[in-house]
Structure 1
Amino acid sequence: MLIDSHLDLAWNAGQGRDLTQELTELRRTDPLAPTQTATVTFPELAAAGLRVAFGTLFALPQTPEHDGYVDHAGARAQALAQLAQYERWQEEGWLRLLRTRADIQEHLSAPPDRLGVVLLMEGADPVSGPDDLAFWQERGVRLIGPAWGRTRHAGGTDAPGPLTPEGRELVQAMRDLGLTLDASHLDDAAFWDAAETGVQMVSSHANARALVPGNRQLSDEMARHIVSTGGVLGLVVHSKFARPGWRPGNERAPLSDLVRHAEHFAALVGWEHLGLGSDLDGGFGAEKTPAGIDRYRDLTRFLDLLPQEAQAGVRGENWQRWLLEHLFSN
């Protein structure tokens, strides 16, 4: 059984990918080829044994490379379109949206027939304010990462800064509603502002800053704090976040580099707090994954390199425990 805490499924559908196809079929007609070789489709995830994924609502801001939102309305429109995509997939039988502990228990006790998805909002700009959280909670969102780059809520990747006053109000409201904060992408200042509120945290997809510098990664102190709230650390499967100084065009990082991140975190917090947060096809393809990860089912090659006694936990048992302890009871 695999559980993965970060997959941009609906975002990929919005890029024109049909995730209901077999992977080899998608690759023949992929609109993102040849620069992003796909690794994820629903049949591929099923073949890998993936039972639960944290599926994102990811609103892309405008950047020099991408068209995207420039205000809250644009961010909300993107997130709502992705939410509608998950709901269509549920109606078609490709997945089941999981909102409660009972949903998780029922899903994992039944024979595998479709993917279970817990909704995670990556970047909080689709949320208009604290009073809007109830809307997203009702629609199934259970985790929110306030930042990607800089948002109106927080400093983020390559964009240092604290929580804004609006961001602090949002995080406090998340805490009061029992929503979980995803610390991935948060700048240090924003992270420690959020920590002061007492909100429960996870990191859905980040590796160790001690091995690869930069505020996209977790410092040792951040990792320890996340675990102190009961959280799990999801390891991201990207050469840039596995090997320091890696650049596109370099040979892909070896899997041993990713194993070093797992070992580093395990020495800090214990293997029981580590899981997968692959982010595969999260704006990159097999060209940027560690060597040996050419499609989703290849993740087992990484897991097989971990200590035997840790493998089942990292594969899914640690995230399963977290879900049963922290997802809403009803």
Structure 2
Amino acid sequence: MTRPPPLIDGHLDLAYNAGLGRDLTLELGALRARDPVPGQTATVTFDELRAAGARVALGTLFALPRTGESPGGYTDHAGARAQALAQLDTYRRWEDRGLIRLLRSGAEVAEHLEGADGPLGVVLLMEGADPVRDADDLGFWVGAGVRLIGPAWGRTRYAGGTDAPGPLTAEGRDLVTAMRDLGIALDASHLDDAAFWEAAEIGPRLVASHSNSRAFLPGNRHLTDGMARAVAASGGVIGLVFLSPFIRPGWDVAQPRVGLDELAAHARHYAGLVGWEHVGLGTDLDGGFGREKAPAGIGSYRDVGRFLDLLPGEHRAGVAGGNWARWLTRFL
């Protein structure tokens, strides 16, 4: 009997959701019955990930800055660091309970994927670099298991980001240089164009953990064709986001949810630019939104396979996880 291909998700805010009070160890119905997050129907639990066949995820350390919608967010490095350390502790506690396995090297990823069963493998991805004090502090986070860093979310001390145009700062250039020298990959998702091209010139390994195509969407959140080519030229993978306003411009929650066929159009566009071998999943499910904003047909995480069914048969296994597996085992 042929084993189904592993599913690898390039972007899940697992510990962040736990910090909101969600118990991901519950069955999904039980979680929804006591969900502390209003207006965002949960789709992700450990049971749902198992049901979908997920073997590995890039699990984030995401520190939320203070905004009008998040008045309790951080305002300085210390606040960002405290959030990230709390999430790191969550992952470690989950590992102690046998719920996940933290993966720190390509060899560990390969060995984990060879196993027929076992907990979810998690590779740590820092989304927004403000928890890092400076370039000299990078070694601490590497020692803690972080293997990818996205310098920006909105604007950070290091780079311009989503809806906050700007280049790398002087601190950002130092950080990206240190990342390159230590072999820590740069997640280009959320980087503004100016910061992206400066970072690409410095030369770290590039991925885009959760970015759809700007060919379909205005604004600086997603990748231009040139950016997609640069990520692919470094050997990187681009993860597709399962969020309706990141699939169709102008969508809002009062409208019917966007169809999975429209997300498949983003996949086909990337494949036409750089080849299917650079296209993967970066669902971001429950990453600040719930079922209400996920594409039609995605009622919970176990439905992710419905998207794969819309892709060319010979490329489904690669997008499901094979392309991320190749990158992780080669570069991590």
TM tier relative to shorter chain? over 0.9
Query: Which residue is 1:102 aligned to?
Result: 107
Query: Which residue is 1:47 aligned to?
Result: 51
Query: Which residue is 1:129 aligned to?
Result: 134
For 1:155, give the aligned amino acid: G
- TM-superposed CA distance for 1:244, in Å, is 1.2
For 2:245, give the aligned amino acid: K
- TM-superposed CA distance for 1:77, in Å, is 0.2
Query: Which residue is 2:286 aligned to?
Result: 281
- Distance (Å, rounded) in 2 between the aligned partners of 1:268 and 1:110: 34
In the superposition, the TM-score normalised over structure 2's length comes to: 0.97
For the pair 1:214 / 2:215, whether they are aligned, the reply is no
- Describe the superposition over 1:157-191 as per-residue Cα deviations: whole angstroms up to 9, x where unpaired: 00000000000100000000000000000000000
When the two chains are superposed, the root-mean-square deviation of aligned CA atoms in Å is: 0.6
SS at match of 1:113: coil
For the pair 1:224 / 2:229, whether they are aligned, the reply is yes
- Distance (Å, rounded) in 2 between the aligned partners of 1:139 and 1:170: 17
Alignment of 1:282-321 (within 5 A): 282-321=287-326
Alignment of 1:1-40 (within 5 A): 1-33=6-38, 35-40=39-44
In the superposition, the TM-score normalised over structure 1's length comes to: 0.98
Alignment of 1:1-330 (within 5 A): 1-33=6-38, 35-66=39-70, 67-327=72-332
SS at match of 2:60: strand
Range with bigger deviation, 151-160 or 243-252:
243-252
For 1:17, give the aligned amino acid: R
- TM-superposed CA distance for 1:102, in Å, is 1.6
- Distance (Å, rounded) in 1 between the aligned partners of 2:107 and 2:329: 8
- Describe the superposition over 1:62-121 as per-residue Cα deviations: whole angstroms up to 9, x where unpaired: 000102000000000000000000000000000000001121121111121200000000
SS at match of 1:5: strand
- Describe the superposition over 1:292-329 as per-residue Cα deviations: whole angstroms up to 9, x where unpaired: 011001011111000101100000000000001101xx
For 1:54, give the aligned amino acid: L
- Distance (Å, rounded) in 1 between the aligned partners of 2:133 and 2:118: 36
For 1:167, give the aligned amino acid: G
**Structure 1, unpaired ranges of 5+:** none
SS at match of 2:149: strand
- TM-superposed CA distance for 1:13, in Å, is 0.2
- Describe the superposition over 1:129-174 as per-residue Cα deviations: whole angstroms up to 9, x where unpaired: 1111100001100000000000010000000000000001000000
- TM-superposed CA distance for 1:248, in Å, is 2.5
- TM-superposed CA distance for 1:24, in Å, is 1.1
- Distance (Å, rounded) in 2 between the aligned partners of 1:209 and 1:76: 32
- Distance (Å, rounded) in 1 between the aligned partners of 2:319 and 2:114: 19
For 1:132, give the aligned amino acid: D
For 1:202, give the aligned amino acid: V
- Distance (Å, rounded) in 2 between the aligned partners of 1:235 and 1:44: 19
- Distance (Å, rounded) in 2 between the aligned partners of 1:197 and 1:225: 12
- Distance (Å, rounded) in 2 between the aligned partners of 1:298 and 1:124: 32
**Structure 2, unpaired ranges of 5+:** 1-5
For 2:54, give the aligned amino acid: L
User: Aligned pairs, how many?
Assistant: 326
